[in-house]
Amino acid sequence: MSRMTSLLSLVPILCGVAACGGGGGDGGAAGSIAPPAQMAAISSQSGPVISAAVAGSMSSSENLSGLGGLAIPTIALSTIGLETTDAFRPPIAALTIGPEAIDCNGGGSASFSGEVNDPLTLAPGDTLSFTYADCADGTGTVIDGSMSLTVSAVTGDISLGTFSLTLTMDLQNFQIIDNGTGGSIDGDISFALDATSQQAISITISSNMLTATAANQAVTISNYNVTVTIDPLLGSVSLESSGTVTSSDFTGQISYTTTQPVIFSSADVPTSGQIVVNGAEDATITINIVSDTQIDLEFDYDGNGTVDEVVMTTWQELND
């Protein structure tokens, strides 16, 4: 089922933004988390957990950029069957799509609707909506919930891969379960892609609030912004990001920002950069990426501007 396949490709992207994933934490049941007013205390116990959460966010954002920024329009097109090779291409009358309902291969149903300016590409003003009711693909994957997409700007030629695109997504209890495991996403995401130059592709992703849950773990990001610049020839990625994070893995919220761009190599491992994490009482964690094999975590527990402890680790250890 082609629409199902395309949508499954989109879910890791959305999870990547929120750094969601399986596994459990020590912070209680999963669910939507309203970011609390209090900042998280940074201590010798919580510091490594918070550092790992921020590193995971960086890795997820980099994985998102690995799609080259070109996957979003392709997925958006194929999800509603606008590819000429798609056997499930819906009938389009007066450029209005649906509402059209389909039975999913493994049970459940899905429906989609929208208004498009051109049935063969994306254009400003296009709106697309998808609703899934326990839609199963027959191989163990089930999708539930709703997603809407609005295109606000498109320039260039999408078919040639030289284009810029701005769109927003709204997700409501959007869930995907793969063989019994998975999670859900709620919130808004804005994408701004610029692939007009094949020498440098940039994608900026922002969200007012986005909550991802999986198993008994929940993460909420707010005031999130990440800009990723990709060099297709070198295979390198430069990432700058900031935001506020609340997680079931620790109490309270933290804010973070990249004070030096994080540079990822072709092996998806950061080679340089710096990230500063802020917690309660002006406490900070400075994540210094020294090389692809060394990360220095500098902890200022009392917020007096003096480093109280330095822990040397690796990116892999932080993300394990």
Average pLDDT, the chain: 75
Q: What is the gyration radius of the CA atoms in the chain, in angstroms?
A: 20
Between CA 313 and CA 109 the distance in angstroms is: 47
**pLDDT surpasses 80 at 44:** yes
Entry pTM: 0.73
Percentage above 70 pLDDT, the chain: 75
pLDDT band at 20 (very low <50, low <70, confident <90, very high): very low
**pLDDT surpasses 70 at 4:** no
pLDDT at 88: 30
Of 117, 152, 128, the C-alpha closest to 10 is 128
Residues forming beta bridges with residue 199, ordered by sequence position: none
**pLDDT surpasses 60 at 84:** no
**pLDDT surpasses 70 at 178:** yes
CB 263 within 8 A of CB 241: no
pLDDT tens-digit map of 267-284: 678 899 999 999 999 999
> What is the 8-class DSSP label of residue 282?
G
pLDDT at 305: 94
What burial letters (b/e) apply to 150-176, b meaning 16+ CB within 10 Å? bbeebeeebeebebbbbbbbebeebbb
Amino acid at 24: G
pLDDT band at 85 (very low <50, low <70, confident <90, very high): very low
Mean pLDDT, range 251-272, rounded to an integer: 88
Between CA 270 and CA 39 the distance in angstroms is: 28
Other beta carbons within 10 angstroms of residue 194's beta carbon come to 18
Mean pLDDT, range 204-223, rounded to an integer: 81
Between CA 50 and CA 45 the distance in angstroms is: 9
pLDDT at 277: 95
Mean pLDDT, range 139-156, rounded to an integer: 86
* Residue predicted with more confidence, 259 or 175: 259
pLDDT tens-digit map of 91-146: 344 477 778 888 888 889 888 888 888 766 778 888 888 888 998 888 888 888 88
Q: Mean pLDDT check: name the lowest of 80-94, 149-163, 181-195, 253-267.
A: 80-94
Of 250, 173, 174, the C-alpha closest to 217 is 250
Between CA 182 and CA 319 the distance in angstroms is: 19
